[in-house]
Amino acid sequence: MERLLEVQHLKKYFKTPGGMLHAVDDVSFHIEKGKTVGIVGESGCGKSTLGRTLIHLLESTDGKIYFHGEDITHVDKHKLRKLREHMQIIFQDPFSSLNPRMTTVETIEEPLRLTGRYGKEEIRELTRKMMETVGLDERLYHAYPHELDGGRRQRIGIARALILNPEFVVCDEPVSALDVSIQAQILNLMQDLQEERNFTYVFITHDLSVVRHISDEICVMYLGQMIEKCGAKELFENPLHPYTKALLSAIPIPDIHVKRNRIILKGEITSPVEPKPGCRFAARCPYCREECSIPQSLQDMGEGHMVACGRVKEINR
């Protein structure tokens, strides 16, 4: 399998009045072509920042990004324009991701127009096809976003991201603003499109049932760091990191006879501004010991199941 995107020790810090905010801190992973990597974590853990850094909407502070094996960490304007045709993003909020003064057609065809490579007829034809592909009715051609419901708006957002046929798409919580029945429709649409056109997705979400449904591999993030990474099935059957265990125990089970064993985390998420070295989860971890104050790194627990926890063997005995 070809590695489409590889990230090594990626860091993204923001300057704040209180010091450096470590939004993404030393994250490494790779994605194979045509696969989906899910990135989960609670809000504020840096998953959206990671997604935006991958496609150069934010400049990375440190680390390397490779696309098709080529270093794209720092590229000039010209190269970036080329690159962006292969990397797109689907946004979370379908209410703020569409320009309220542009009609459906204007929004969807804009990426094509901006390349300057297509003629008028071609643009019209491709836009029409794309609208059909994502399930937008012809009568919505000239509708403004405020006339449409959330699901249809999100379809427009998807159409805009996919019309250039990008190889790599960052999906930043694309269904979390939609209600459940529409979530399923959109997820199925995205999966169908992936099968059909061999898209590669990075799927960012805090919704664990969604990520299980769509991902091949899952990365769990906590305060800017990756703490566990493995196949989707493996993660749900055999979570190793204490945080992942707690996270998974929070998934509701729709059966009143099943008694859930919830792990309730105590305390607040610690500040990402100038964090102390050592395990960032330590303050809330039920298994925390003194040795947790040294920096943790991902270690392979077999079959590519990576965990960043010094006590993982003791805990999971």
Partner 1 sequence: MTKERKTAKKESMFRLTFERLMRNKMAIAGLIFLGIVVLMALAAPVIAPYSYEEQDLFNTLKGPSGEHIFGTDNLGRDIFSRILYGGRNSLIIGFVSVGISAVIGVVLGAVAGYYGGKVDMVIMRLLDVLQSVPAILLAIAIAATMGPGFKNCIIALTVSSVPGFVRMTRASCMNVQGLEYVEAARSINARESRIIFKHILPNAISPIFVHATMSVATAILTSASLSFIGLGVQPPAAEWGAMLAEGRNYIRGYSHIVIFPGLTIMLVVLSLNMLGDGLRDAMDPRLKN
**In 3-state terms, what secondary structure has residue 304?**
coil
Complex with partner 1: residue 143 or 269, whichever CB lies closer: 143
Min. distance of Cβ 55 from partner 1 in angstroms?
Answer: 7
Looking at residue 125, its amino acid is E
CB of residue 200 to partner 1, shortest distance in Å: 16
- Give 184 or 193: the residue with its C-beta nearer to partner 1: 193
Which C-beta is closer to partner 1: that of 32 or that of 85? 85
Q: Which residues are paired to 85 by β-bridges? A: none
Q: Which of 254, 225, 249 is nearest to 239 (CA)?
A: 249
Based on CB atoms, which residue is closest to partner 1, 84 or 213?
A: 84
- The residues that touch partner 1, with contacts defined as CB under 8 A, are 52, 55, 57, 81, 84-85, 87-89, 91-93, 96-101, 103, 110-111, 114-115, 138-144, 146-147, 157, 160, 164
Q: How many of the other CB atoms lie within 10 Å of CB of 15? A: 8
Alpha helices in 226-290 (DSSP H): 232-237, 242-249
Residue pair 149/121 in contact by the 8 Å Cβ criterion:
no
Residue 117 CB neighbour total at 10 angstroms = 10
Cα separation of 44 and 50, whole Å? 11
Tell me how many degrees the CA angle 261-265-290 measures, rounded to the nearest 5. Answer: 115
Shortest distance (Å) from residue 208 CB to partner 1 = 24
Q: How far is the CB of 98 from partner 1 (least distance, A)?
A: 6
| Choice between 156 and 247, CB closer to partner 1 | 156
Q: One-letter amino acid identity for 76?
A: D
The smaller minimum CB distance to partner 1, of residues 12 and 52, is found at 52
Decide: residue 89, CB within 10 A, 0-12 exposed, 13-18 middle, 19+ buried: buried
In this complex, which beta carbon is closest to partner 1, that of residue 158 or of residue 306?
Answer: 158
**Minimum separation from the CB atom of position 277 to partner 1 (A):** 32
Q: How near is the Cβ of 6 to partner 1 at its closest, in Å?
A: 21
DSSP per-residue string spanning 164-221 = T--SEEEEESTTTTS-HHHHHHHHHHHHHHHHHH--EEEEEES-HHHHHHH-SEEEEE
CB of 177 to partner 1, least distance (A): 11
Whose Cβ is closer to partner 1: residue 38's or residue 157's? 157
How many residues in total does the chain contain?
Answer: 317
Strand ranges, E, within 54-142: 62-67, 70-71, 87-90
Chain centroid offset of residue 119 CA: 34
Least distance between partner 1 and beta carbon 147 (Å): 7
CB 45 within 8 A of CB 225: no
